[in-house]
Amino acid sequence: MINTPPCPLQGPVGRSHYFLHDMNILRPSKRFALLVSLLLATILLMPVQALAQGLFRSDMDRPVGTPENPLQVGIGIHIDQISFVDQKSENYGAVATIRARWHDPALAFDRDEIGRDARIVKPEAFVEYASSLPTIVPAFVIQNQQSNRWIHQSVVAIEHTGQVTYFEKSSLTLQAPYFNFKKYPFDQQQFFFEIVSVFPADVVQYTALEEFSGLGNLLGEEEWILERPNMVLSTTTGLSGAPSAKVALAFEGRRHIMYYAIRIFMPMLVLIACSWALFFLDEYRKRIEIAGANLLVFVAFNWVISDDLPKLGYLTFLDFILQWMFVVTGAIIIFSVLLRRLKTSGREEVARKLDNYAIKWIYPLGYAAIVGFAIMNYLVVA
């Protein structure tokens, strides 16, 4: 029996030295068989151990923000206030909260090392930090922005798992190019807040954060009723010239009809009734004077309404009604002059018959036809 000297090393290294010393005292044939067995065991067990340690996981070696592994970014848009709606310039002002959320393993960190689960940094510091890593910052532009974006507050929260959330509250002026005033003042307008990725769609893709999107309860806009917000995902041509991801908060706006009913439609009905009452006057000269005054009132109405709208290439519902009221009032003046000429020429009986016919049929049915055509052509069919 051969005595084996004690191993002078401790731990795994000492045990390895002790094991090799034992192998030196074995016969060559047994030594060869033992080495082959160890080699086979190592080959068979290595994939299992490597898989358990995550060494063969392909997703660990794939950085995000590449065509093979695009970065998934959730976007939330919440409008807290509407500062104005300028229908003549076709834009509106908003105070909005923007949230962007994504997961990037390259930004993960050891929470035990810094003693907290998340880091809160300014966007400038985050961009500088991310630029030093093999990753990208999912920058975006607001597609329909018309003015400078005044950022009230912005911050980036980085969790130890690599989850990143960007918060921003800002105020800006946004274009509203989809306004259509054909049904004015019964129109419903489309408003959008559009965000487009700087990167192509195969690098950064958008999803909607519905829980962080919508309209505030106190928007501060009195002229419009704003409702039905929804998030719309699409693609558009981005800054790179390639298709880029786009997300938009879309909502609708309709007017308070009571304002127009009291300020416009009620005075119009009064003027129409006064014009009809002129036919009951026997003095045709008085009719001409009053109808001329009504004509000036309609001109003033037209100026007031046109001042609120852009110079359109089409007639609105209200424009159509006002223009025909203008034409009818002018026709009353011409008709009254004709009746006076008939009376002075000795054909007063003919003048009375024509006047009576106009009172009962022409005037009321003519206005009913004008209003009915306007409703069908502008409100129903359009």
Domain membership of residue 237 as a residue range: 71-255
- CATH number for the domain spanning 328: value is 1.20.58.390
Q: Which of 226, 255, 284 is the last residue of a domain?
A: 255
My answer on whether 109 and 175 are in the same domain is yes
Q: Tens digits of per-residue pLDDT, 163-190?
A: 999 999 999 999 999 999 999 999 999 9
Establish if 182 belongs to a structural domain: yes
Q: Which of 255, 275, 293 is the last residue of a domain?
A: 255
My answer on whether 321 and 182 are in the same domain is no
pLDDT of residue 297: 84
pLDDT of residue 247: 98
- CATH number for the domain spanning 100: value is 2.70.170.10
My answer on whether 247 and 267 are in the same domain is no
My answer on whether 197 and 312 are in the same domain is no
Which stretches of the chain drop beneath a pLDDT of 70?
Answer: 1-62, 382
My answer on whether 220 and 144 are in the same domain is yes
Establish if 371 belongs to a structural domain: yes
pLDDT of residue 206: 98
pLDDT of residue 16: 40
pLDDT of residue 13: 37
pLDDT of residue 27: 52
My answer on whether 140 and 155 are in the same domain is yes
My answer on whether 206 and 293 are in the same domain is no
Establish if 223 belongs to a structural domain: yes
Establish if 47 belongs to a structural domain: no
Nearest residue to 84 via CA among 75, 74, 93: 93
My answer on whether 119 and 249 are in the same domain is yes
My answer on whether 88 and 105 are in the same domain is yes
Spatial distance between the Cα atoms of 80 and 78, rounded to a whole number of angstroms? 6
My answer on whether 250 and 329 are in the same domain is no
Q: Which of 235, 255, 275 is the last residue of a domain?
A: 255
Yes or no: say if 131 and 106 are a contact pair by the CB < 8 Å rule.
Answer: no
My answer on whether 271 and 248 are in the same domain is no
Establish if 31 belongs to a structural domain: no
Nearest residue to 221 via CA among 86, 82, 80, 79: 82
Q: Is the dihedral of CA 184, 269, 287, 324 positive or negative?
A: positive
The structural domain count of the chain equals: 2
Environment class of residue 185 by beta-carbon count within 10 Å: exposed (0-12), middle (13-18) or buried (19+)?
A: buried
pLDDT of residue 320: 93
Establish if 33 belongs to a structural domain: no
pLDDT of residue 288: 85
Establish if 26 belongs to a structural domain: no
Q: Tens digits of per-residue pLDDT, 253-270?
A: 999 999 899 988 998 898
My answer on whether 284 and 194 are in the same domain is no
